[in-house]
A = this chain, B = another copy of it.
């Protein structure tokens, strides 16, 4: 229980105990993401400690990203932020699972279109050559994290539309198409506001920005197999670049 009496003098600082209880309440799902915490005064009273002690616990939790405090409004359980590493072996499902969340995906659209400017250039195709575009939502624990737009050269990956329709995993589809391994080459990152459809698909307010990443995946021989433009829900995602 959140308000059970706190043992004192056990060598465990009160603020630590309080932080642990709140953390347990959050990770157990008793307090869901976005939920409002009791006011500091209420907590202090219920636990029979000074408000400073509560604040020290809050500081700990905000520092670890579990709680978000807004002056004058209250304290809230932080929405879960997925840390998305941008290494060369980035695989959506592995990343999500590494953070003990359940990955899933949904294909929004598959089409074959002629390659235009940027895509043709990055795939090293002539303008007008056919590419398969696949738009795909990626979820962690059922919550939309990213919206990827993949472009595969149609001549090499003729079957990929059918494969993706069957299983929305990009790496599985590439593996079944004879590319068991690939690496990410360069990612350019910027941000912009979402279109109404993007906000809708990502389940995000239209007033919150998107992170955009552009990446080229190449097979072991260095041939581009996939040009991807990914839109991340900025509030729920943090891209992590390993330095050096």
Please list the residues of chain A having a beta carbon within 8 angstroms of any beta carbon in chain B. Answer: 59-60, 62-63, 81, 83, 86-88, 116-118, 121, 183-193, 207-211, 215, 234-235, 237-244
For the complex, give the distance between the alpha carbons of A148 and B187 in Å: 22
Question: Which of A63, A88, A121, A185 has the most CB atoms of chain B within a 10 A radius of its CB?
Answer: A63
Contact partners of A234 in chain B: CB under 8 A: 190-192, 209
Q: Are A240 and B186 in contact (CB under 8 A)?
A: yes
Q: Point out the residue from B63, B121, B242, B243 that lies within 8 Å of A117, measured CB to CB.
A: B63
Asked if A117 meets B186 with Cβ closer than 8 Å, knowing A192-B234, A234-B191, the reply is no
Alpha-carbon distance between A46 and B27 when the two chains are bound, in angstroms: 66
Shortest distance between the CB of A131 and any CB in chain B (Å): 15
Question: What are 18 residue pairs bridging A and B, where the CB atoms are less than 8 Å apart in the complex?
Answer: A59-B116, A60-B117, A83-B188, A87-B243, A183-B244, A184-B244, A185-B244, A186-B243, A189-B238, A189-B239, A189-B241, A190-B234, A190-B238, A191-B209, A192-B209, A192-B235, A209-B234, A241-B241
Which residues of B have CB within 8 Å of A209?
191-193, 209, 234
Q: A191-B209, A193-B208 are in contact. List 8 more A-B contacts (CB 8 A).
A: A185-B243, A186-B241, A187-B240, A189-B189, A189-B241, A192-B235, A193-B207, A241-B241
Copy number in this complex?
2
What's the minimum C-beta distance from A1 to chain B, rounded to whole angstroms? Answer: 27
The answer to whether residues A184 and B243 also contact, given A121-B63, A210-B191, A234-B191 and a CB cut-off of 8 A, is yes
Q: Judge whether A243 and B187 touch: CB under 8 Å.
A: yes
Expressed in whole angstroms, the Cα–Cα distance for A117 and B60 within the complex equals 7
Assembly CA distance A190 to B137 (angstroms): 19
- Interchain CB contact (< 8 A) of A191 among B183, B187, B211: B211
Chain B residue nearest in CB terms to A59:
B117
Chain B residues whose CB sits within 8 angstroms of the CB of A191 once the complex forms: 191, 209-211, 234
Residue of B nearest to A60 (CB): B117
